[in-house]
Amino acid sequence: MAFDSLSEKLQNVFKNLRSKGRLTEDDVKAALREVKLALLEADVNFKVVKQFVRDVQERAVGQDVMNGLNPGQMVIKIVNEEMVRLMGEETTEISLQPGKALTVIMMTGLQGAGKTTTTAKLAGKFKQKGKKVLLVACDVYRPAAIEQLQINGEKQGVEVFSIGDKNSPVNIAKAAVEHALKNSFNIVIIDTAGRLHIDEEMMAELVEIKSNVSVHQTILVVDAMTGQDAVNVAQTFDERIGIDGVILTKLDGDTRGGAALSIRAVTGKPILYAGMGEKLSDLEQFYPDRMASRILGMGDVLTLIEKAQEEFDEEKARKIEQKMRKNEFDFEMYLESMSQMRKMGGISSILGMMPGMGGGKMPEIDEAAAEKNLARTEAIIYSMTLKERQNPSLLNPSRKRRIAQGAGVDIAEVNRLVKQFEQMKKMMKQMPGMMKRGRRGGMFKGLPF
Amino acid sequence: MGEEKKGFWSRLVAGLGKTRDNIVSGIDSIFSGFSSIDEDFYEEIEEILIMGDTGVNATEAIIENLKQKVREQHIKDPAECKELLIHSIKEQMDVGETAYRFEQEKSVVLVIGVNGVGKTTSVGKLAGKLKDQGRRVVLAAADTFRAAAGSQLQEWANRAGVDMIGGQDGADPAAVVYDAVAAAKARNADVLLCDTAGRLHNKKNLMEELKKINRILAKEYPDAYRETLVVLDATTGQNALSQAREFSEVADITGIILTKMDGTAKGGIAVAIHSELGIPVKYIGVGEHVEDLQKFDANEFVDALFNVKI
């Protein structure tokens, strides 16, 4: 997950702080020195780090940190607040023109940031919201860039406007907007060629597009792995052509993504979306405040809860709960709870969002193996008849043998699952309180991972 | 060649101007602002290296090394210390003489890296260069994932006038490599250049795919000289180290192509990678044309980095 290593670092620092109970001024300084190193290693720009550390120290010293009841918590609170302040407190969306009016969005960025892929992802997002989207292929330089956009556009089911690579991007953009107005499109997304921020000629081209076409939103696409230079890139693009927002790509890598903090700090422009994978659907809303708390190792529990709420079918959940209460929990329910969990992104995704459970923290759990295990369990249950699922006591050795064959597993595995299931049932019986504390906690406890 | 090289380096210097001006003015102010070598002096150097993406660990190692030398050689003058610093980084980054052996051998070059670093472009440029040297080149378009990646490489193949072996979109890249090896043998090619799909190094399946490609090469083309180049984007920060580390887990990496050196990023991470993994930078990319792929020169690289007059 994106910010794990940084989370770990900070957690280690604060573990030391917590264990002392009461802080001396030297402790604060030592802690902030660690915070500084951790942030630098996360690629947060040096100047941003410096400012950040200064702010925190100022605030920490100004308040009665040393005399506070829980000094460790106090420092965390201040660091967190500053982090949130830097990242921007609110989620922002690309603002569209009112009603059905045409919104023109221009995508810009360095080479290889992921503009063309992100353009297609954005198109999918808008299309889902019922907008009529037109993609415009203005990268006339990179070989096959137009074709790439055309293929991706086709996959998303949106029209791609192209008049080849012989026209200037300015003319292409103008013609595209005309086409869009004539055919009542709601959104035009212009995919431009990657360019260096110091390439005067190429930067002028963007300025020219902007002065010939009314661009409502200029988006800077930035690779989340960018180092110290992120600040220069973002600042120059903002100064030369003016940007309205940032999309951070490749956040599904293991980068700590400090660039997010830097860009935000120097441009003040919001980060709108995060690219989280190679599939055209992998574009997620960016939650700056949660990202900040994730940096601090508080986990992204909020996202977990929200995801759970979104995906969890309330009706089905209630049924499972009732059955559990009555101790009628059966394999059908077991299957249902498993698929609910998968909707939330599978084990790895859920574990990644738990505080202190970033990939690095749990080397002993092989996520791929756990997912595989889950699939086997599913296969076993699917090999049962409906009656068997609803009434597991039917399962005699002969039936178990049949199930094992059907699922392609050893009979011992079937036995293990049945045993596990019985234990789970027993556990539920013994702990009626568990259900009241939160059905989600209960639901996951018995699952085989 | 010498003429062209000069043009390139001055272009690089011009390109890097803005940021390097920051660094250099930083460096100069240190060396002029300090009359003696003390902790503050070292701390300033530390900051400057970190600003160049060298990373905390490598920077600390460099400073330790510097301190030791200063102690041993009884250096008192900050300017002399600057010389020492530049010299030691140059020494470390030196490529060595056998680095480009694959250009002369019957060889297969596997080019790998994360998404968007410039693999296809680098392969295209390398094909053009080798062809100019009179080598017979075959390209393998093993990026069957990204839309139109094959067409992009085909364009480069046309420009260079070399053959390219491709596959259907979504085809097994290992199968493309297999076909390409057969074609390279049949056409008696000197160099087989394999472009691969961008993959984030933390994606297990994709890394397995890379291993499979490696196995195919080892099995089908055992007598070929192997060169595996990882392409890194100079703009990338500390993650480049983790990329190099993870890729060397699945492939025997012999060198780095450091791209996008014509921006304001300084690629200091290459120094960190060299200290931790010992992988040398062999080429740098400074633009979109064939001649913009250059052999790495440690002296000029470090000089340009610290803006020493060439």
Same domain, A29 and A158: no
> Within an 8 Å CB–CB cutoff, is residue B209 touching chain A?
no
Same domain, A320 and A289: no
CATH code (residue A424): 1.10.260.30
User: Within a domain: residue A214?
Assistant: yes
> Within an 8 Å CB–CB cutoff, is residue A9 touching chain B?
no
The alpha-carbon gap from A418 to the nearest alpha carbon of chain B, in Å, equals 32
Average pLDDT over all residues of chain A: 79
Smallest Cβ–Cβ distance between B264 and the set A198, A253, A278 belongs to: A198
Q: Answer yes or no: is pLDDT of A441 > 50.
A: no
pTM equals 0.75
Provide the chain B residues 132-171 that lie in CB contact (below 8 A) with chain A: 145-149, 151-152, 154-156, 169
CATH code (residue A173): 3.40.50.300
Mean pLDDT is highest, among A86-95, A171-180, B14-23, for A171-180
Smallest Cβ–Cβ distance between B200 and the set A40, A196, A252 belongs to: A252
> Within an 8 Å CB–CB cutoff, is residue B260 touching chain A?
yes
Strand-pairing partners, residue A285, are A273
Mean per-residue pLDDT for B108-125? Answer: 96
Helices (H), chain B: 2-33, 39-51, 56-72, 78-93, 119-132, 149-160, 173-186, 204-220, 239-250, 269-277, 298-305
User: How many folded domains does chain A comprise?
Assistant: 3
Q: Which of A275, A234, A265 is nearest to A83 (CA)?
A: A265
Q: Considering only CB atoms, which chain A residues are within 8 Å of B144?
A: none
Cβ-defined contact of A112 to B233 (cutoff 8 Å): yes
- Length of chain B in residues, anyone? 310
| Domain containing residue A341 | 304-445
Cβ proximity of B293 and B122 under 8 Å: yes
Same domain, A319 and A437: yes
CA distances from A357 to A224, A303, A305 (A): 21, 14, 16
Phi, psi of A272 (to 5 degrees): -95, -50
Same domain, A123 and A251: yes
What share of chain A has pLDDT > 90, as a percent? 41
Q: Which of B184, B297, B201, B282 is nearest to B249 (CA)?
A: B201
Q: Answer yes or no: is pLDDT of B24 > 70.
A: no
* Residue the block writes with tokens 């951790």: A38
Provide the chain B residues 68-97 that lie in CB contact (below 8 A) with chain A: none
Mean per-residue pLDDT for B216-233? Answer: 96
Smallest Cβ–Cβ distance between A112 and the set B47, B118, B151 belongs to: B118
Cβ-defined contact of A196 to B52 (cutoff 8 Å): no
> Within an 8 Å CB–CB cutoff, is residue B245 touching chain A?
no
Instruction: Indicate the pairing of strand A283-285 with strand A271-275.
Output: antiparallel
Cβ-defined contact of B235 to A226 (cutoff 8 Å): yes
In terms of CA atoms, which chain B residue is nearest residue A276? B200
For position A235, what pLDDT does the model report?
94
If one compares A321 and B266, the residue with the highest pLDDT of the two is B266
Other CB atoms within a 10 A radius of the CB of residue A63 amount to: 14
Identify the weakest region by mean pLDDT among A2-6, B140-144, B188-192: A2-6
Cβ-defined contact of B242 to A254 (cutoff 8 Å): yes
Q: Considering only CB atoms, which chain B residues are within 8 Å of A197?
A: 263-264
User: Within a domain: residue A361?
Assistant: yes
| Position B3 confidence tier, pLDDT thresholds 50, 70, 90 | very low
Q: Considering only CB atoms, which chain B residues are within 8 Å of A41?
A: 55-56, 238
For residues A446 and A431, what is the distance between their CA atoms, to the nearest angstrom? 12
User: Within a domain: residue A113?
Assistant: yes
If one compares A183 and A85, the residue with the highest pLDDT of the two is A183
Sign of the torsion formed by the C-alpha atoms of A360, A364, A365 and A368: positive
Cβ proximity of B241 and B273 under 8 Å: yes
User: How many folded domains does chain B comprise?
Assistant: 1
Q: Considering only CB atoms, which chain A residues are within 8 Å of B118?
A: 111-112
Same domain, A384 and A323: yes
When scoring B236, B241, B243, B286 by the number of chain A Cβ atoms within 10 A, the one with the most, hence best to mutate, is: B236
User: Within a domain: residue A169?
Assistant: yes
Give tens-digit pLDDT for A140-150.
Answer: 999 999 999 99
Last residue of a domain, one of A238, A266, A298: A298
For position B39, what pLDDT does the model report?
86
Joined together, the tokens standing for residue B220 give 């089908």
Q: Answer yes or no: is pLDDT of A114 > 80.
A: yes
Smallest Cβ–Cβ distance between B56 and the set A41, A225, A230 belongs to: A41
- Residue A216 makes CB contacts below 8 A (sequence gap 6+) with A95, A96, A97, A103, A104, A105
Identify the weakest region by mean pLDDT among B182-186, B206-210, B258-262, B298-302: B298-302
User: Within a domain: residue A22?
Assistant: yes
CATH code (residue B283): 3.40.50.300
H/E/C letters for each residue in chain A?
CCCHHHHHHHHHHHHHHHHHCCCCHHHHHHHHHHHHHHHHHCCCCHHHHHHHHHHHHHHHHHCCCCCCCCHHHHHHHHHHHHHHHHHCCCCCCCCCCCCCCCEEEEEEECCCCCHHHHHHHHHHHHHHCCCCEEEEEECCCCCCHHHHHHHHHHHHCCEEECCCCCCCHHHHHHHHHHHHHHCCCCEEEEEECCCCCCCHHHHHHHHHHHHHCCCCEEEEEEECCECCCHHHHHHHHHHHHCCCEEEEECCCCCCCCHHHHHHHHHHCCCEEEEECCCCCCCEEECCHHHHHHHHCCCCCHHHHHHHHHHHCCHHHHHHHHHHHHCCCCCHHHHHHHHHHHHHCCHHHHHHHHCCCCCHHHCCCCCHHHHHHHHHHHHHHHHCCCHHHHHCHHHCCHHHHHHHHHHHCCCHHHHHHHHHHHHHHHHHHHHCHHHHHHCHHHHHHHCCCC
The alpha-carbon gap from B201 to the nearest alpha carbon of chain A, in Å, equals 7
Mean per-residue pLDDT for A232-260? Answer: 91
Average pLDDT over all residues of chain B: 86
3-state secondary structure of B81: helix
Give tens-digit pLDDT for A339-384.
Answer: 766 666 555 555 555 544 444 444 445 667 777 788 888 889 999 9
Cβ-defined contact of B260 to A225 (cutoff 8 Å): no
Last residue of a domain, one of A238, A268, A298: A298
Mean per-residue pLDDT for A43-69? Answer: 74
DSSP letter assigned to residue B260:
-
User: Within a domain: residue A93?
Assistant: no
Joined together, the tokens standing for residue B214 give 């490696």
Cβ-defined contact of B204 to A368 (cutoff 8 Å): yes
Same domain, A33 and A76: yes
Cβ proximity of B78 and B34 under 8 Å: yes
User: Within a domain: residue A97?
Assistant: no
For position A439, what pLDDT does the model report?
40
| Domain containing residue B89 | 1-310
Q: Answer yes or no: is pLDDT of A81 > 80.
A: no
CATH code (residue A35): 1.20.120.140
User: Within a domain: residue A355?
Assistant: yes
Same domain, A51 and A114: no
Other CB atoms within a 10 A radius of the CB of residue A222 amount to: 27
DSSP letter assigned to residue B97:
G
For position B161, what pLDDT does the model report?
94
Last residue of a domain, one of A241, A264, A298: A298
Cβ-defined contact of A111 to B204 (cutoff 8 Å): no
